[in-house]
A and B are shown apart, each in its own frame.
Chain A
Amino acid sequence: MRYETVIGLEVHVELATESKIFCSCSAKFGGEQNDHVCPACCGMPGMLPVVNKHVVDLGMTAGMMLNCDINRTTTFDKKSYYYPDLPCSYQTTQWFAPVAVNGLVDIETSKGKKSIRIKQIHMEEDAGKLVHDDWTDTSLVDFNRTSVPLIEIVSQPDLSSAEEVIAYLERLRSLLRFAKVSDCRMEQGSMRCDVNLSVRPEGSDKLGVRTEMKNMNSLTAITRAIEYEVARHIDAIENGTEELVQETRRWDDVKGKSYAMRNKETAGDYRYFPDPNIMPVVIDDAWYNGIKASLPEFPEIKRARYIDELGLTEYDADLLTASRAFCDCFEAAYEVCGSAKEVANWLISDCMNILNRKQMTVDELKLDGKTLGELIKLCMDGKVNRGNAKKILMEMFDSETPIDPAAYAEANGFIVSNDTGKMDEVIKAAVAADPKAVADFKGGKEKALLAIFGKCMKELKGNCDPQKLREALLKHIDSL
């Protein structure tokens, strides 16, 4: 018999806010344990939640990027359960009126295109972290991540293979990073997902027994886990190896197996009810339209525009549109210097090289696009040669303060000189000093002139237009 797999995903994404959802503690990753805590986020009585507006901005942005309807009145609710990493023993989340509902995300796999329906996106707070101390055999709790804002993106059970799941997750990551909703770093846990999976005979309209694997945070582990679970389900159905029960399972990526978690931990009546301390958030037209206007172009639309309108190659367009930071820088620089091809070259070769050397990712590019455009323009106008322009670029990466390329070139003697008298003098001296090279050149060895050319360049400290130098050199030799 042939089987089909039915998968729904719950994807948690940590929002890129400076502070936590209900207090002013830093929401940054890292820090010493319990460094980013205050009475509010470690559950002391008397603190009241005040919603960080930026969280709602990002919740709406995510909703719009995933083609959702936005609930113009959205409310927060409390979800109760006891766990030591949850300081209030309740999590503030959205149950009755989540910020966004009914979305659609397009994915593409080897089997073609498909649309995945989004049930809802809700905003909520993260929990802390338990750290086990083996030496004293005690558990300690770190509240740094407590109340860091999250959105949970709940899909309909529209996915049917590991390949589709990966395509969906990569699509979410690309859209959310583009819209600066989150950095979506799975390895840091800022994007993680719960996989709900069941298997049924192909064509059947009845769903099979569903199991859930929680907190998956690597694409390879997700693929392996799905493949393992599907095989386990089919084995159970066909061979009766075990009785499938609806349960939560934990994936052990080292052993390559999933394990049932104790039912007690997972069965839950969470006693949701509206949080009386948080007034309903009403999204008026001005707020809604402001977010709508701030949405970025989708990456594939940018890519098409870069190719069709700006004449970039597919290769260049792919590289640039992999990162919002690169696109922003590219577009700002293009605005200033007017050459898409030049900007693409500078970004893809020079900037990428510098990032690699600094072991930074493309998303960490902080270069100001307008400044880059000014530098490229200086270069295109022949005012600074490329070698010196690269030195200026390096300085733009290293400097703490903004660099004005023209002023910097001026101050460091990088401006190409128009003093032809000086150039002629240098050429005369260099030619006179190397008669053998001149003779070789005249004898047909083109390359013999390179040594003299280099010497002139060095003498001029690079501040000349190489083309003009070459012409002047040839003219001088001709005249001999």
Chain B
Amino acid sequence: MKLYLAKNENVTSPAVVLDDMILTSDLPTTGGSMMLDNYMSLFGADIIEKLTKAGYAIAGKANVGEFGIDLVGETSYYGAVTDDKGNLSSASAELVKSGDVLAAIGLDVNGAGRRAAAMNGLVYVKPTYGTVSRYGTIPAACSGETVSVSAKTVSDCKAVLASIVGHDDKDGTSLPEEKCELVKTSAASLKKVAVIKSLTKDIDADTAAKLDAVKASLTAAGVTVEEIDCDVLAYAKTAWGILMCAELCNNVSRYDGVKYGHRSENYKTIGELYTNSRTEAFGELTKTAILYGSETLSDDNYMPVYDKSLRIRRVIIEAFASLHAEYDAVIIPASSKAAYTEADINANKYISFDEALYTAPASISGLPSVVAGGVQLIGKAFSENTLFEAAKIIEEGK
């Protein structure tokens, strides 16, 4: 089992590990794919400079599911990662849990990091979209993917996030500096939170117990906890699945075996070079996403499928806006089960799409999400400090 795909020697403390979706110029970056086996980037991600400046050493590159679109950590070319009980985990979560590194930096595409943090009792933040530069991250689903941080404690998670937040001219979706600053400076305001009942129907007993503990901690700290329904959030799963697969299909089309990456030895024509290189190097989930994404963007499906998903994105954003008008945070599970095994994957190959029921609402809306105590708290844009305050209460209530 490979936790590190590449490692730096003589790493000083405090150290962070980067998911292998984040490009480094001194270590290979694979995106968990055979396609990019041993790929050396000519440049590193913008956040590396920021981390280094803040005094964090880069321990190495953590194994990830192929192009980060999985949810359960099972799709890496370099093998799945399990915890000591044999449950599917993630390399970066294992490295943080074992104390090998202070924090892990990942690219949250479909919520795999949130799922792993919830399972392993870590603190995790996916900040507001556009507040951390994506320059130098392997592109998968650019309209929603966000550089994220996980750590053992709220204070470490918050400090590492603060070091990478900021405007970057090299990223056209990067927000202006004064907006980015809000992530660090906006005052916390935690009076009332809502648990979305409609998203807790199918969770297992372990997850339900975590949710109850979180509710109890918050209530004990004087926060009003209400239970409400919001059915529309369930549509995020399919809509994000469509957007993510379409964008992934387009983003990985650059891996054609011509310029870099895996090239098949078996070809006579340019068509065979493309087809055989890609057939050999992409894993099954990636191929599924490519076919699905390609179909949703076809002439016939664009309006009824893709464009509709863009409209659903707006509906979800509006639904959150009305929720956040009343509640400082919205609480939903991070997954239906606390732990998955290989057997679960064998029973349902598309778990990464199904389990996105819990992770897609934050992915598609670009809103900040913090995982603490095994559940997910979603706030309005730039309300990271409010979410961290809730996470702190949950941390202390344990």
Contact = CB atoms under 8 A, between A and B. Distances in A.
Instruction: Decide if A and B are genuine partners.
Output: yes
B250 A80 contact: yes
A209 interface: no
Nearest to A83: B270
Given A273-B246, A273-B302, A279-B172, A45 B23 contact: yes
A49 interface: yes
12 contacts: A43-B254, A43-B259, A44-B42, A44-B260, A45-B23, A45-B139, A48-B173, A84-B256, A89-B256, A141-B258, A272-B297, A277-B139
Contacts of A271: 250, 294, 297-298
A46 B43 contact: yes
Given A47-B135, A273-B306, A87 B259 contact: yes
Interface string B237-277: 00000000011001101101011100000000010001000
Given A87-B259, A277-B173, A44 B302 contact: no
A323 B254 CA distance: 42
A90 interface: yes
The CB with the most chain B CB atoms within 10 A, among A84, A89, A271, is that of: A271
A277 B253 contact: no
Contacts of A87: 254, 259
Contacts of A443: none
Contacts of A89: 253-254, 256
A45 B23 CA distance: 9
Contacts of A39: 41-43
A283 interface: no
Interface string A37-66: 001001111111111000000000000000
Interface string B278-313: 000000000000000010011100100010001000
A82 interface: yes
Interface in B305-352: 306, 310
Size category of the A interface is 20 to 34
A279 B259 CA distance: 28
A276 interface: yes
A269 B299 contact: yes
B138 interface: yes
A166 to B, nearest CB: 35
A78 interface: yes
Contact of A84 (B41, B171, B247, B270): B270
B335 to A, nearest CB: 26
A299 B31 CA distance: 56
Interface residues on B, range: 35 or more
A278 interface: yes
Contacts of A44: 41-42, 254, 259-260
A88 interface: yes
The 5 closest A-B pairs by CB, nearest first: A276-B143, A89-B253, A271-B297, A88-B254, A46-B136
Nearest to B44: A46
B142 interface: yes
Nearest to A50: B172
A272 B172 CA distance: 20
Contacts of A279: 172-173
B250 A78 contact: yes
A326 B44 CA distance: 48
Interface in A236-288: 269, 271-274, 276-279
Contacts of A80: 250, 253, 297
Interface of A: 39, 42-51, 78, 80, 82, 84, 87-90, 139, 141, 269, 271-274, 276-279
Contacts of A88: 253-254
A278 B172 contact: yes
B169 interface: yes
Nearest to B45: A46
Given A269-B299, A279-B172, A46 B250 contact: no
Scoring A49, A82, A269, A273 by chain B CB atoms within 10 A of each residue's CB, the highest score goes to A273
B170 interface: yes
A82 B270 CA distance: 10
Nearest to B168: A48
Contacts of B383: none
Contacts of A47: 43, 135, 170
Given A42-B259, A51-B172, A90-B253, 11 more contacts: A45-B36, A46-B136, A46-B139, A48-B172, A82-B253, A82-B274, A84-B256, A84-B258, A269-B299, A274-B310, A279-B172
B115 interface: no
B137 interface: yes
A131 to B, nearest CB: 14
Contact of A48 (B134, B260, B297): B134
B259 A48 contact: no
Contact of A276 (B138, B247, B258, B274): B247
Interface in B170-193: 170-173
A88 B256 CA distance: 9
B273 to A, nearest CB: 9
A70 B306 CA distance: 27
A371 B259 CA distance: 52
A44 B251 CA distance: 11
Contacts of B135: 46-48
Contacts of B250: 78, 80, 90, 271, 273
A277 B259 contact: no
Contacts of A141: 258
A42 B135 CA distance: 16
B308 to A, nearest CB: 13
Nearest to A130: B270
A349 to B, nearest CB: 51
A90 B41 CA distance: 21
A50 B256 contact: no
A125 to B, nearest CB: 14
B78 to A, nearest CB: 18
Nearest to B36: A45
B281 to A, nearest CB: 14
Given A80-B250, A90-B253, A46 B270 contact: no
B97 to A, nearest CB: 28
A43 B302 CA distance: 25
A117 B228 CA distance: 57
Contacts of A43: 254, 259
A44 B42 CA distance: 9
Contacts of B42: 39, 44
Nearest to A88: B254
Contact of B142 (A269, A272, A277): A277
Contacts of A48: 134-135, 170-173
Interface in B18-59: 23, 31, 36, 41-43, 45
